[in-house]
Amino acid sequence: MGTTVKTVERPAGIRRKTYLIAILEGLWVTFRHLMKNWIGNTLGRRAKTDIATLSYPEQKKVYPERNRGLHRLMKRDDGEVRCVACMMCPTVCPAHCITIVPEEAPDGSIEKRPRIFEIDELRCVVCGLCVEACPCDAIRMDTGVHAWPTIRRADAILDKEALLSRGDASTATQGGVGPFWREKVKS
Amino acid sequence: MLDSISTFVARILPYGSASFSAVAALAKSVFFILLFTMPLAGILTWMERRQSAMMQDRVGPNRANIGRFTLWGIPHFVADALKMIFKEDFVPPQANKFLFALAPMLSVAPVLIASAIIPFGAPLCYGHMSETVALGTCVAPIELQAARLDAGLLFYFAIASLAVYGAALAGWASHNKWALMGGMRASSQMMSYEVTMGMAVMAMFLVYGTLEPGAMVNAQGDWPWQWGIVGIPQVIAFVLFLAAAIAESKRTPFDIPEGESEIVGYFVEYSGMRFGMFYLGEFVEVITSSALIVTVFFGGWRFPGAGALAASLPNALFVLASVLVWSLKVFLFCAFQLLIRWSLPRFRADQLLRLGWQRLLPISIANVVLAAGWILLRR
């Protein structure tokens, strides 16, 4: 395979060759931007300028609805955790950031519940697979908050209480409606 | 009150004595370096970032503050200096320690010394400071110029060209091949453009018939059409001088010796305040070249209506006004150089030398001939 040579034409004509006119044109463009932004910014009328910068801590951009933020655990009607410790999310998690230690639930209608539910936000790759895998709408990533900086690494591990503190009651029916739900809905 | 101070001073330092001139020269140097060049160089480090941001539709540094006062972010240069002072001062183990320490000083000091010849205000009529003194009538004024040399601009070029040692030594003493190559690029560039710079001013020497900047300012009038820039060879000399001066200060579009982000430059091994001196030296060169441009081409401290103002204001106030006008002119040219620096792309090394030797130098030599013909025709 041979190399091909592409000859680029040099700018022709004295006007292009001396650069001077082109330099002045360029300086005029940058000067116009400078004046517009400077005057607008000094007068405090940012809207009249071309400045695209967002002054972050004061102004925050609203994230889109489907943005994946920090995790949260949903609650049942009685305020208990919805999670039934089925281990779907730690299984599917590619970063192995979810730790669940199950225990027997005192409520007879569900067999298990998590005794420990921890997510290491430093390991999380924010892929959202845990939300997809969850069969009972117990884990969600719709908080719109991103993982904050911490001084100690241990502070980035969220436990069950922290995850529940952002939780909410789910509208889905706990435990589903069973394998014959079509008949049940008809009747 | 001014006269009572001057009579008190006259008792200690009699006017015209050697000690008086020494103290006056010292005071002028202190004003020029400590009260004008250094603060302006500091502000320019902030202004460069802020102005470039505004040109590129950004906001720029605006957060540094003293309590509740942000002052549009001007304290950023104080914060930067503090940061540099407290940073680790790293010296490469195999570097030549003495030359490594000398190089940053050599890149700042010559430019400051060379700026001694620049007149920064109207002559002060000592002993008549509270009276109105018409321009040019004072018998033995104090020239606001740290050194009045007949060699004038030749002294400037002789001393300012020593700054090339700063760059070359920094590259060599760092014991780093890339720094050495950066130093070589810097020295080849600075030497090439010094020739053009000198030849561009040569045309102005012919026009003024003097080498002395103070006399050049005196030869210009108050109104813009009486300034040195007016005339065909003068305009050409101005463009050539501006291009060469930017190349001398090693800033974009001529910044291949250092090339902030892309090319490893001659001060790659420098950190902390030693790097800060190179950085500051760059801005000191911007100020000094702007001051020189103002002196030679734009009337120095002269401004429209200066003659009338001198006849109506006390001499001390008029001199103060002239210093302020001169400062404003220099500041505007600094801002113009920043505008150029953030508008134009960088030259390649070979393009840069070709531009210097094959385009600018022949034009500048032809311009000397043109200037001679121009003077002959206008006589």
Mean pLDDT of A12-28: 83
Comparing alpha-carbon positions, the chain A residue that sits nearest to B253 is A23
ipTM of the complex model: 0.85
**Residue stretches of chain B with pLDDT short of 70:** 1-3, 6, 16
Q: Is the pLDDT score of A185 beyond 60?
A: no
* Closest chain A C-alpha to B114 CA, distance in angstroms: 30
CB contact under 8 A, A34 and B55: yes
* Closest chain A C-alpha to B246 CA, distance in angstroms: 14
CB contact under 8 A, B343 and A29: yes
C-alpha span between B45 and B270 (Å, rounded): 18
* Closest chain A C-alpha to B50 CA, distance in angstroms: 10
SS3 readout for chain B: CHHHHHHHHHHHCCCCCHHHHHHHHHHHHHHHHHHHHHHHHHHHHHHHHHHHHHHCCCCCCCCCCECCECHHHCCHHHHHHHHHHHCCCCCCCCCCHHHHHHHHHHHHHHHHHHHHHCCCCCCECCCCCCCCCCCCCCCCCECCCCCCCCCCHHHHHHHHCCHHHHHHHHHHHCCCHHHHHHHHHHHHHHHHHHHHHHHHHHHHHHHHCCCCHHHHHHHCCCCHHHCCCCCHHHHHHHHHHHHHHHHHCCCCCCCCCCCCCCCCCCCCCCCHHHHHHHHHHHHHHHHHHHHHHHHHHCCCCCCCCHHHHHCCCCHHHHHHHHHHHHHHHHHHHHHHHHHHHCCCCCCCHHHHHHHHHHHHHHHHHHHHHHHHHHHHHHC
Q: Which of A29, A30, A53 sits opposite B59 (nearest CB)?
A: A53
Task: Write out residues 222-261 of B within 8 Å (CB-CB) of A.
Answer: 239
Taking contacts as CB-CB distances below 8 angstroms, the residues of chain A near B344 are: 23, 26
Taking contacts as CB-CB distances below 8 angstroms, the residues of chain A near B342 are: 30
* Closest chain B C-alpha to A148 CA, distance in angstroms: 22
Residue B86 confidence (pLDDT): 93
Residue A91 confidence (pLDDT): 95
Q: Which of B57, B239, B339 sits opposite A50 (nearest CB)?
A: B57
Comparing alpha-carbon positions, the chain B residue that sits nearest to A46 is B59
Comparing alpha-carbon positions, the chain B residue that sits nearest to A32 is B55
Best A30, A39, A45, A53 member to test B by mutation, with max B CBs in 10 Å, is A30
Comparing alpha-carbon positions, the chain B residue that sits nearest to A18 is B359
Residue A180 confidence (pLDDT): 62
pLDDT tens figures, A49-107: 888 888 888 888 888 888 898 999 998 878 888 899 999 999 999 999 999 999 998 87
CB contact under 8 A, B339 and A52: no
Q: Which of B57, B339, B344 sits opposite A31 (nearest CB)?
A: B339
Best A37, A49, A56 member to test B by mutation, with max B CBs in 10 Å, is A37
Residue B66 confidence (pLDDT): 85
CB pairs under 8 A between A and B: 43
The helix or strand, by DSSP H or E, that contains position A45, with its residue range, turns out to be none
> Band of the pLDDT at A183, cuts 50, 70, 90?
low
Comparing alpha-carbon positions, the chain B residue that sits nearest to A23 is B344
Q: What is the CATH number of domain A72-165?
A: 3.30.70.3270
Q: Is B65 on the interface with A (CB under 8 A)?
A: no
Residue B313 confidence (pLDDT): 86
> Band of the pLDDT at A171, cuts 50, 70, 90?
low
CB contact under 8 A, A37 and B344: no
Backbone angles phi, psi at B238, to 5 degrees: -65, -45
Q: Quote the Cα angle for A63-A67-A71, to 5°.
A: 115
CB contact under 8 A, A52 and B57: yes
* B167: nearest Cα among B247, B94, B49, B90: B247
Best A34, A46, A53, A55 member to test B by mutation, with max B CBs in 10 Å, is A34
Q: Among residues of chain A, what percentage have pLDDT more than 70?
A: 90
Query: Could you state, in order of their start, the residue ranges of all structural domains in chain A?
Result: 14-48, 72-165
**Are B310 and B132 in contact, with CB atoms under 8 Å apart?**
yes
Residue A184 confidence (pLDDT): 60
Q: Is B345 on the interface with A (CB under 8 A)?
A: no
pLDDT tens figures, B157-167: 999 888 889 99
Residue B152 confidence (pLDDT): 85
